[in-house]
Amino acid sequence: MTWRATCLTLFPAMFPGPLGESLAGRALRDGAWSLEARDIRAHGIGRHRNVDDTPFGGGAGMVMRPDVVDAAIADAMPEGDARPLLYLTPRGQVLDQALVRELAEGPGVVLLCGRYEGVDQRVIEHRAMREVSLGDFVLSGGEMAALALLDTCVRLLPGVMGAAESAVEESHSAGLLEYPHYTRPAEWQGRAVPPVLLSGHHAEVARWRRAEMEAATQARRPDLWTRHQVARGGAAA
């Protein structure tokens, strides 16, 4: 079954963008997934198709109207559509590989790309949206976040990646950062490839890679290391 993605946006021309290239683009052309970008402004109010208004309580910026957003969602998600509805916002749950796997294993996603100061809270609650963030920073809108989220999901769809084991060994797949990679030449600018990788001993290579993953995670992402230790049932070091 084709994995279906729908993006609700004020800038539909931003899609598919980079998703039309490389693995995601080939999978899109092959029918492994589908992408539809819907213009929220089609449901705007009045002659000028207004989609936003000033915030109650004062303050800078504009807020996307709940009636406009709700109409766009209703048009994109007919009754019985089982796909999760996600609102991309800096205040959401941080996207991680566990959530990516959950979404990739489902029927697809509907993504609401916010703009301005955000979306009226009432429609978020009314539609039981799941709020998702890429991290602790602010973008001009949800479109770039949507592209990133879709790329992370599409690459996990069956048959999209050439080698299934690549998805198993990469960063965050096991709650750890990935080990470093090396290729030819064996020596470059006075730097040699670690001898264990040239040894041909698969068990030793596996042990080395695991040690490198743990060391990198401890040094660069102590938050991930703590969660990894807790998940293993041990005390965080």
40-90 confidence digits (pLDDT tens): 999 999 999 999 999 999 999 999 999 999 999 999 999 999 999 999 999
- Which of 154, 179, 197 marks a domain boundary? 154
131 and 213 assigned to the same domain: no
Range(s) of the domain holding residue 180: 170-231
The answer on 174 and 139 residing in a single domain is no
Kind of pairing, strands 130-133 and 187-188?
unpaired
Answer yes or no: do 115 and 177 share one domain.
Answer: no
In the numeric block, which tokens belong to residue 167? Answer: 């998805």
pTM over 0.75: yes
CATH code of the domain containing 138:
3.40.1280.10
DSSP state of 209: H
Residue 10 sits in the same domain as residue 127: yes
Tens of pLDDT, residues 1-52:
899 999 999 999 999 999 999 999 999 999 999 999 999 999 999 999 999 9
Please indicate, yes or no, whether residues 94 and 8 belong to a single structural domain of this protein. Answer: yes
Could you tell me if residue 159 is inside a domain? no
- Please indicate, yes or no, if residue 236 is contained in any of the structural domains: no
Whole-number Å distance between alpha carbons of 137 and 121: 20
112 and 119 in contact (C-beta within 8 Å)?
yes
